[in-house]
Amino acid sequence: MALRLWASSTANVLKLSSAACRTHHLPSPFSLSRCFSTVLDGLKYANSHEWVKHEGSVATIGITDHAQDHLGEVVFVDLPEPGGSVKQGGSFGAVESVKATSDVNSPISGEIIEVNASLKETPGLINSSPYEGGWMIKVKPNSPAELDSLLGPKEYTKFCQEEDAAH
């Protein structure tokens, strides 16, 4: 219980300073045996470590800080063309790091209206700015109810802790 409260207050602190802060720059009171990755309020999360930001009729999608940290340095990003569609849980692209290509899945269904062209020249944006400059696709959601099936920030934080503790 105490750990969960501590983690959620940490997440709130991180929200205030997330624009400037990277996990390895957190002051020592926040570094346990395992550093917590940044989890932002106002986003929804999939248990495959993608985030979605729903603003009006547009949803922006990317991978989380936890995901980029576990991937290592991203050297290549494979993205679809605008105009295609995505299904909740379906793969829409991939990232390559340390000689591993990892599929990226969409948290929601809809039509792809924009992809982040900067990632072609600067794939490392996914590492340095996973929630801002490293966004991957923008989608027009066709089933807004799907957002309810996703994890909130607190649930996602807990999910990451449990996953990391598994080994």
Q: Where along the sequence are the contacts to other proteins (CB under 8 A)? A: 48, 67, 69-73, 75-76, 78, 91, 94, 96-103, 105, 163-167
Q: How far apart are CA 28 and CA 8, in angstroms?
A: 17
Strands 74-78 and 85-86, sheet pairing: unpaired
Identify which of residues 41 and 73 has a Cβ nearer to other proteins in the complex: 73
In angstroms and rounded to an integer, the radius of gyration of the C-alpha atoms of the chain is 16
Shortest Å distance, C-beta 104 to other proteins? 10
Identify which of residues 96 and 155 has a Cβ nearer to other proteins in the complex: 96
Identify which of residues 101 and 149 has a Cβ nearer to other proteins in the complex: 101
Cα–Cα distances (Å) from 129 to 136, 147, 160, in that order, read: 11, 23, 19
Shortest Å distance, C-beta 16 to other proteins? 27
Residues, the chain, total?
167
Max Cα-Cα span within the chain: 47
Identify which of residues 34 and 140 has a Cβ nearer to other proteins in the complex: 34
Packing angle of the helix pair 153-165, 2-17 (nearest 10 deg): 120
Identify which of residues 60 and 68 has a Cβ nearer to other proteins in the complex: 68
Shortest Å distance, C-beta 55 to other proteins? 28
Shortest Å distance, C-beta 48 to other proteins? 7
**3-state DSSP helix/strand/coil percent for the chain, to nearest 5?**
35, 30, 40
Shortest Å distance, C-beta 43 to other proteins? 20
